[in-house]
Copies of this chain bind each other. A is one copy, B any other.
């Protein structure tokens, strides 16, 4: 990896850490500099403004997701769909991921007022829905899924999983049948929406144990020392 590419990845990892520690609203370039042990002037050398840096960070997240989704594209469609659902899930003790997603929620609320942020949110939406639509098309081709409108189904699944995640991180409780929001909703959307789409005899792999492959939100370059909490990269 070139020095520039390595510096860029270190900075991206710093944005991730700074967002989860400070949130979006009060985030400063100094917070990000501290989080990646760089000087503020080095950050400004690479990114003129904090907005430039956050826009680059969103691009980085989306590109990382796309690359990892493509890397798993040789798996069966049922396994890929189970992995996509699992990717949205949260365990109640994943406080770091929760704080990161809360910061993303704050950032998303800037969508209507900031063209550059909104265009990345729209790109991310197209990538998510496109990934699900492609998985469904693959399954229909393989004969594991019955033919369905893949665009509408993708919009439904993305809205449902995103909604469950937003409710779980903002409510911060387990009270849906004693389980988390994301787990309850994942189980129910599988029962009601996905199982009826599967061809006879086909089963979806267990969402709790399927290999996710997709990035667990953080940039891939995060140093091993930061992963000692047991989460996969």
Which residues of A approach B to under 8 Å, CB–CB? 23, 25, 98-99, 102-103, 105-106, 108-109, 111-112, 118, 121-122, 125-126, 129, 149, 151-153, 155-156, 158-164, 166-167, 169-173, 175-177, 181, 184-185, 187-189, 191-193, 196
Contact = CB atoms under 8 A, between A and B. Distances in A.
Contact of A112 (B160, B169, B191): B169
Contacts of A171: 111, 118, 121-122, 125
A105 B102 contact: no
A143 B155 CA distance: 31
B156 A162 contact: no
Contacts of A106: 106, 109
A188 B153 contact: yes
A102 B106 CA distance: 10
Contacts of A177: 151-152
B170 A121 contact: yes
A185 B187 CA distance: 19
Contact of A155 (B121, B153, B159, B185): B185
Given A156-B185, A188-B152, A189-B156, A108 B111 contact: no
A121 B167 CA distance: 9
A158 B188 CA distance: 12
A42 B125 CA distance: 45
A167 B158 contact: yes
A160 B158 contact: no
B122 A188 contact: no
Contacts of A23: 109
Contact of A163 (B102, B121, B153, B160): B160
A112 B122 contact: no
A61 to B, nearest CB: 15
Nearest to A164: B159
Given A102-B109, A152-B177, 18 more contacts: A102-B111, A105-B105, A106-B106, A109-B170, A111-B172, A112-B172, A118-B172, A125-B171, A152-B184, A152-B188, A152-B191, A158-B163, A159-B167, A162-B163, A163-B166, A192-B192, A192-B193, A196-B196
- Which of A99, A125, A161, A187 has the most chain B CB atoms inside 10 A of its CB? A125
A156 to B, nearest CB: 4
